[in-house]
Chains A and B, each alone.
Chain A
Amino acid sequence: MTIKRRTVLAGMLASGASTVALRMPAVAQAAPFKIGLLTVKTGPLAQGGIQMEQGIAAFLKEKNNTLAGRKVELLVADTGGNPAGAKTKAQEVIERDKVNVILGPLAAFELLAITDYVRENATPLISLAAAEDVTQRKANPFVIRPSATSGQCSHVMGDYAAKELKLNRMATISDDFAFGHEQVSAFQRAFEDAGGKVVKKLWPPLVTPDYTPFIAQIGKVDGVFHGFAGSNPVKFMRSYADLGLKGKVSLLAGWTGMDDALLKSLGDEAVGVVSAAYYSATADTPSNHRFVAAMQKDYGVLPGGYAAGMYVAGQCVEAAIAALDAKADDRNALAEALHRVALTDTPRGAVKFDQYGNVIGEVFIRRCDKKDGQLVNTVIKTYQNVSQFWTYNEREFLGNPVYTRDYPPAKNLEN
């Protein structure tokens, strides 16, 4: 199953070159608007990174490389999935290529490595990386995030688990790094506030060949919440089923845990798993229908959160350029315009941004079903206008420390 990225991109550029701006008035801008994509194309994070590129490529192809009348050039840089690489590539696209806006990077630790740098160089950045503080206590005015903070979807999952699934005692298990910590803490907070108890928290290292020793520790609970990312959910869910827990103990997941792009790698062990995500391939909006069709036609894959996130990022850039018209090259103005973007038709539904640059949008609760022999995440409930603060008071939230492995403290742990 080879992906013919090269040919698609070549075709896209060729079609873009011969396009004539149709409905938009011809804007007198000679220089193309440059978008720099910082993604990961080699190594363990490559799966998400390649998706990011596909998502933005699909968007630009749909628009014929012209946003709001302006020609757009996409530059793709491979950070290698590590902070030093992210920094170097950020320098490359900012200093050498002089891009107007950066999309990416993929991982939270990459974003943390470059956040000060993009602020010093006044370059707007649209990232899917979930590091909470970048839009909270250390908010960067140049960054917007159209995906979600680590906690944004897990707050919802915790609430749903307690109130609708009526689960009482739960265990959590997630990768032992910031993204995992933040997701689980958010889940725990919302779940316990709605009457549940988290009685066990497990933290396998990010690189774990075999999850059995951890699964064996789960104990007597009603449900398990997992926040695994990358390719780990596949391994974990298989072991979970192999060890006989499937069907006995409900399994809930964060957005990376049951991402639609992973469905093709999963088997029957995923049926019945409930997850909360900011994107679902079955979401019913016109742009999503187009997007999913384009991804299947060009790449033969179902899009997941990474691809959709980049599509939405593209839409935000388009909206900002349209709002600024001739002033789109002013990067400070562009950053402000991005914060003011409000869209109704995106693959993930309606989006707008709070004052810290984080998205306020819909969160979907999905359940994995098998339809005609294929796995599908069916949306069973949609929460509207979910912000990064959930139902908590914003000032109080920011006054508390950021979610970590031990904050909020877990008061109901057993042994």
Chain B
Amino acid sequence: MNLWLTLAVNSIALGGLLFLLSSGFSLIFGLMRIPNLMHGSFFMLGAYLGVTLLARGYNFWVAALASTAALALIGGLIERLLLRRLGGDPLPQVLLTLGGAFIVADLCLMLWTGDPWQPGTPDHLRGVVEVAGLYFPLFRLVIVAVGLIVAIGLWLLVDWTRLGAKIRAGVDDAPIARVVGIKVSQLFTLVFALGAALAGFGGVMGAPYLSVYPGLDFEMLPLALIVVILGGTGSLLGALVGSFLIGFLYNFGQAMFPDLAYVILFLPMLVILVLRPQGLFGKVVS
């Protein structure tokens, strides 16, 4: 009973973090039709920046927002200067993001060395919550709360603003959106920057929980992929549901079927891709 309860609560916590990671990926994939293979790198880079700021004594939220802003800038520049030159052809764009991932990984190694960094949980968020004799770190529940706040914020943006309407139009049918006068290229830059920012924010939130180290990028990237494929590209609801699903699958799978740990994670992805490529909540991609 203890085990299942701990696993369940942890699944929700992991789900919250995964949502921060994959919401950006889902937006980018949905609008620009490219699986951004640098997404894990953005997560890691945001985490490293956040940790550096924390080490200098800045407040946790200040550090998080500063990293988020930095990643938004970096993401925007990458899209504007590099991706846009490739003229919408998805394959070279995917490969460019792959090349970018290698570069970021090496840069991080150069700047932050190979040691792992794990900042302490911020003081005002420290503490444990006791439920039925089990201890659970408060910070992880905070991650869930933050994830939900971000989810609501994104939902408001996408469903209730003009910008969101334009994004949705771009996701549904980019050529027609252009025809009606929506500047899809600018949207691309914006969405890519937003995606990078979300990933970076997720990285900082996750740093006290997962720590930062070389290799974090390629550990988180497949998780983002799985969530988005499962939930459906371009759908925030899909990313939310997918994140929690994967959180549960990961925690219970690791505990119950350790030998098949990776198969359990990737098999649903494969099944969905083959049977229902648009995912649970996505729209059919023409």
For A209, the chain B residues whose CB sits under 8 A away are 14, 210, 219-220, 223
The contact string, 1 if C-beta is below 8 Å from chain A, for chain B 253-286, is: 0110010011000000000000000000000000
Task: Give the contacting residue for B113; candidates A3, A205, A212; CB below 8 A.
Answer: A3
B261, A205: Cβ atoms under 8 Å? Answer: yes
Q: A50-B113, A213-B252, A242-B137 are in contact. Are A43 and B118 (CB under 8 A)?
A: no
| Residue among A214, A264, A265, A267 with most chain B CB within 10 A | A265
Contacts of B219 in A (CB 8 A): 207, 209
Cα separation A212 to B248 with both chains bound (whole Å): 12
Note all chain B residues with C-beta closer than 8 A to A242.
121, 128, 137, 139-140
Given known A43-B214, A231-B211, contact A213–B113 (CB-CB < 8 A): no
Contacts of A2 in B (CB 8 A): 110-111, 113
Q: Does B7 contact A (CB under 8 A)?
A: yes
Closest B residue to A218 by CB, please name it.
B3
Q: Are A212 and B6 in contact (CB-based, < 8 A)? A: yes
Q: Does A380 contact B (CB under 8 A)?
A: no
A47 is an interface residue with CB less than 8 A from chain B: yes
Q: Is the CB of B137 within 8 A of A214?
A: no
Contact A210 B14 (CB under 8 A): yes
B114 touches A50 (CB 8 A): yes
Output the least CB separation between A344 and chain B (Å). 32
Q: A231-B213, A243-B137 are in contact. Are A208 and B254 (CB under 8 A)?
A: yes
Which residues of the partner chain A approach B109 to less than 8 Å between Cβ atoms?
42, 46
B134, closest chain A residue (CB) = A244
Query: Is A408 an interface residue when CB atoms closer than 8 A count as contact?
Result: no
Partner of A267, one of B110, B120, B210, B254: B120
| B243 within 8 Å of A (CB atoms) | no
Judged by a CB distance under 8 angstroms, whether B215 is at the interface is: yes
* Contact digits for B90-123, partner A, Cβ 8 Å, 1 yes 0 no: 0000000000000001100111111111101100
- Asked whether A244 lies within 8 Å of B118 as measured between CB atoms, the reply is no
Please, which residues of chain A bring their CB within 8 A of the CB of B262? 205
Q: Are B250 and A210 in contact (CB under 8 A)?
A: yes
A127 to B244, CA, bound (A): 44
From 1 to 46 in chain A, residues with beta carbon under 8 angstroms from any chain B beta carbon are 1-3, 42-46
In the complex with contacts A207-B219, A244-B135, A213-B211 CB distance below 8 A? no
Interface range, B side:
35 or more
- Rounded to whole angstroms, the CA-CA distance of A268 and B126 in the bound complex is 13
Q: How far is the CB of B247 from chain A (nearest CB, A)?
A: 9
CB of A238 within 8 A of chain B? yes
Whether, in the assembled complex, B136 has its beta carbon less than 8 Å from a beta carbon of chain A, the answer is yes
Decide yes or no whether B67 CB sits under 8 A from chain A: no
B22 at the interface (CB under 8 A from A): no
- The answer to whether A204 has its CB under 8 Å from any CB of chain B is yes
Residues 207 to 239 of chain A near chain B (Cβ within 8 Å): 207-210, 212-214, 216-217, 231, 234-235, 238
A217 to B134, CA, bound (A): 12
Given A235-B116, A243-B136, decide whether A210 and B209 contact each other with a Cβ distance below 8 A: yes
Nearest Cβ distance between residue A68 and chain B, in whole angstroms?
33
Report yes or no: B214 in contact with A210, Cβ–Cβ below 8 A: no
Q: Are A235 and B118 in contact (CB under 8 A)?
A: yes
Residue of A nearest to B262 (CB): A205
Q: How large is the interface on A (under 10, 10 to 19, 20 to 34, 35 or more residues)?
A: 35 or more
The residue of chain B having its C-beta at the shortest distance from the C-beta of A264 within the complex is B115
Contacts of A265 in B (CB 8 A): 115-118, 211
Chain B residue contacts of A231, Cβ below 8 A: 115-116, 211, 213
CB-CB under 8 A for A205 and B114, given A213-B7, A213-B252, A231-B213 = no
Known contacts A176-B258, A209-B223, A231-B211; decide if A46 and B251 are in contact (CB<8 Å).
no
Q: Which residue from A45, A203, A234, A243 sits with its C-beta under 8 Å from B116?
A: A234
How far is B110's CA from A208's CA once the two chains are assembled, in angstroms?
24
For A49, the chain B residues whose CB sits under 8 A away are 114
Q: Chain A residues with Cβ under 8 A from B7's Cβ?
A: 212-213, 216
Which listed residue (A213, A262, A266, A268) contacts B254, Cβ 8 A?
A: A213
A213-B255 CB under 8 A given contacts A207-B219, A244-B128: yes
User: What residues of chain B lie closer than 8 Å to A48, measured between beta carbons?
Assistant: 114
A1, B113: Cβ atoms closer than 8 Å: yes
Chain B's nearest CB lies how many Å from the CB of A184? 14
Among the interface residues B114, B136, B139, B211, which one has the most CB atoms of the partner chain A within 10 A?
B114
> Which residues on the B side are within 8 Å of A1 (C-beta)?
112-113
B10 within 8 A of A: yes
Taking a contact as CB atoms under 8 Å apart, the answer to whether A216 and B2 are in contact is yes
A345 to chain B, nearest CB (A): 29
A47 CB contact (under 8 Å) in B6, B111, B116: B116
With both beta carbons as reference points, the residue of chain B lying nearest to A216 in the complex is identified as B6
B212 to chain A, nearest CB (A): 9
CB-defined contacts of B208 to chain A, threshold 8 Å: 238
CB neighbours of A216 from chain B (8 A): 2-3, 6-7, 10, 255
Residues of chain B contacted by A176 (CB below 8 angstroms)? 258
List chain A residues, Cβ under 8 A from B137: 242-243
Which of B3, B211, B251 counts the most chain A CB atoms within 10 A?
A: B211
Does the CB pair B135–A217 fall under 8 Å?
no
Q: In whole angstroms, how far apart are the Cα atoms of A3 and B219 in the complex?
A: 26
Chain B residues lying within 8 Å of A3, measured Cβ to Cβ, are 113
B binding-site residues for A, Cβ under 8 Å: 2-3, 6-7, 10, 14, 105-106, 109-118, 120-121, 128, 134-137, 139-140, 208-211, 213-215, 219-220, 223, 250-252, 254-255, 258, 261-262
Interface pairs A-B: 7 shortest CB-CB: A244-B135, A231-B116, A44-B215, A47-B114, A46-B114, A216-B6, A242-B137
Contacts A3-B113, A46-B214, A265-B211 aside, 19 further interface pairs with beta carbons under 8 A come to: A1-B113, A44-B215, A45-B114, A46-B114, A47-B115, A47-B116, A205-B261, A209-B220, A209-B223, A210-B14, A212-B7, A216-B7, A216-B10, A234-B213, A238-B208, A243-B6, A243-B135, A244-B135, A267-B118
5 contacts between A and B (CB under 8 A): A205-B254, A214-B255, A234-B116, A238-B118, A267-B120
